[in-house]
Amino acid sequence: MTRVLIIEKRMTHYRVPLYERLRVLLANRGIELLVGYGPAHASEVSRNDAGALTWATDVPTRYLLGGRICLQSFGAAARTCDLLVVTQENKLVSNLPHQFLPTRYKVALWGHGGNLQGNPHGLAERWKRMVSRRADWWFAYTDHTLPLLAQAGFDPRKVTVLGNAIDTEALQGLCAQSEAEGVDALRARLGIPRQAFTGLFLGTFNAEKRVDFLLEAAVEIRRRLPQFELILAGSGPEQVAVDQFCRAHAWCHPVGQARGRLKSDVLIASDVILNPGMVGLGILDGFAAGRPMLTMRSPRHSPEIAYLRAGVNGEMTEPEMSAYVDAVCRLHEDSARRAQMASAAKVSAQTYSIQAMAERFATGIQLALQSGTGSQA
């Protein structure tokens, strides 16, 4: 049987459903899936996002230089496979022998195509672009990755766009339960007036998310819209500043980290999601609930920003306070447009699902196996 090995540095909980689905899809095509991963670095444990894949292989892993270098030993497993899929990170130096030396198996890369928060002209990114060409196939997170691979000189005919996703099925079910309870009841439970226009921030309180900008914008929005209320769901390095802000403004409602039913409650209780900073997979939470997201233009967004269609399922403004505040206020005034965006967001939730991602992954693996001969052409 044809065998494919995917190596991860560590396993996160949101990848487990993907691999479970992918394993079944590939088995139906006569392809055996093997997955290997190692333990998280100490700096990653606090993220509390670890997952476990019971049928996966433990990969011996060492971290050096405070986690800036990761050494993984998976050569023996790779030699039993027809295709090796590894993630694209400069720290994963164990990938290099498989990419640069002749192998009987093909090698595919999976990733962003570049560090979207890094300096595109720096040595690290120049090295990454060069290494990106040393693959037989590429699995790109989103369409956002395609121009990065083109800049690196990789053949676009050997790229599969996965549509990076998380499993939102459970969240959609919880949102249905929250909707059944009713927005008014949810808002009353959270201490929000019935007729409020409610914004929600759902994520990590840090500089990348522009939480400081959000709080400043919220004051201006409230000045222009006295019925504006803000839910802050999350935690992070800027927790102290958030707590101080909430104590000073009674219309701001901190709920802590929102998971499970609490997450669905705050999503349904809100009208819009406000994230002026970096947008990533969290955009899918809003889609699952049918809530449009408002963000700002930035080169630091993660690839999932490709899912936002400005004016359709969300808004992207210029990176200016006045532009962002104006967009929020306009959306309040135009309830019909807001309803259209909400419907489009729900449609997007079906497009960027874990099942769709697994299907694309399986098809891409089959194409990679069938493409050319030899390694790293």
The backbone region for 375, taken as left when phi is positive above 0, alpha when psi lies in -120 to 50, beta otherwise, is: beta
Query: Based on C-alpha coordinates, what's the Rg of the chain?
Result: 22
Mean pLDDT for 237-260 is 95
Contacts of 235 (CB under 8 A, 6+ apart): 204, 205, 256, 257
Q: Are 83 and 369 in contact (CB under 8 A)?
A: yes
CA distances from 258 to 23, 77, 135, 191, 267 (A): 30, 39, 40, 16, 10
pLDDT in tens, 324-361: 999 999 999 999 999 999 999 999 998 999 999 999 99
d(CA 221, CA 196): 13
Q: pLDDT, tens digit, for every residue of 24-58?
A: 999 999 999 999 999 999 988 877 789 999 999 99
Q: How many C-beta atoms lie closer than 10 Å to residue 79's C-beta?
A: 13
C-alpha span between 31 and 329 (Å, rounded): 52
Q: Considering Cα of 310, then 311, then 313, then 315, what sign does the dihedral take?
A: positive
